[in-house]
Amino acid sequence: MTTLRSESLDAGEPASAGPRVGVLALQGDFREHAHVLSRLGAHVSLVRRPEELDAIDGLVIPGGESTVMDKLSRAYGLAEPLKARIADGMPVYGTCAGLIMLADTVLDAIAGQESLGGLDVVVRRNAFGSQNQSFETDLEVPALGDAPVHAVFIRGPVVESVGPAATALATIPDGRVVAVEQGDLLGTSFHPEINGEYRFHAYFLRKVRDRIADRASA
């Protein structure tokens, strides 16, 4: 079993001036996110305990299994402080299970499953079927520029409805929404962290830097 200890991924390296970004490391592909964020110059730490939230300016919630992340985040006392940070405006990017954690409403949840919420969307878990029905496709994401985004879907959720506070950033060809943002919250049904697509993370880091600058000038 993984020991729950604090871990700084750039320990031993020169202190980074980049924004301090946590990756929720209860379960899922947190290491892939940590790698991408480090490559983009962020000072990355893995978050497993409530007090570790104090040292970050933004958070990524990885892909994995939302039912497990939900249970563990409540068991470790992280869910409530996380909700408070989200309400306070901390930038958060969720991929796949992470998007489910950020959604205000989750369809096809298991009994008792809760989300952190924050994004004014309804998502449906496992909307594209089982693991065997995982697929890849190219998406237009105007917010990220002209070059298409190659998107890998692995038992991903779909955004069934986008409330007035949120905005769709990308749709698959049948019109279903698979990327959304709402202020400093960002969510994708797919996994840019696993195929070298860094633009969503860069877009997210801009939100983190802008928020730090806004706070400094307030």
- 93 and 86 in contact (C-beta within 8 Å)? no
Question: 149-153 and 135-139: which strand pairing?
Answer: antiparallel
211 assigned to a ligand binding site:
no
- Token pair belonging to 42: 């962020």
Give the shortest CB-32-to-ligand GLN separation in angstroms.
Answer: 11
33 tagged catalytic: no
Give the shortest CB-26-to-ligand GLN separation in angstroms.
Answer: 12
- Token pair belonging to 115: 């989300």
Q: Which residues bind ligand GLN (CB under 6 A)?
A: 63-66, 96-97, 100, 125-126, 154-156
Give the shortest CB-86-to-ligand GLN separation in angstroms.
Answer: 18
85 assigned to a ligand binding site:
no
Cα(84)–Cα(130) distance, integer angstroms? 33
| Residue among 30 and 203 whose Cβ is closer to ligand GLN | 30
Catalytic residue from among 96, 181, 197, 201: 96
160 tagged catalytic: no
| Residue among 71 and 211 whose Cβ is closer to ligand GLN | 71
Cα 105 to Cα 96, 162, 169, 218, distances in angstroms = 14, 11, 19, 33
| Residue among 43 and 153 whose Cβ is closer to ligand GLN | 153
96 tagged catalytic: yes
All residues at 6 or more sequence positions from 215 whose CB lies less than 8 Å from its CB, including other chains:
none
Catalytic residue from among 32, 52, 193, 197: 193
Give 7's strand partners. 46
Give the shortest CB-162-to-ligand GLN separation in angstroms.
Answer: 19
User: Which among 129, 124, 136 has a CA at the least distance from the CA of 176?
Assistant: 124
215 assigned to a ligand binding site:
no
Cα(155)–Cα(108) distance, integer angstroms? 13
**Which residues line the annotated binding site for L-glutamine?**
64-66, 125, 154-155
**Which residues line the annotated binding site?**
64-66, 125, 154-155
Which residues are tagged catalytic? 96, 191, 193
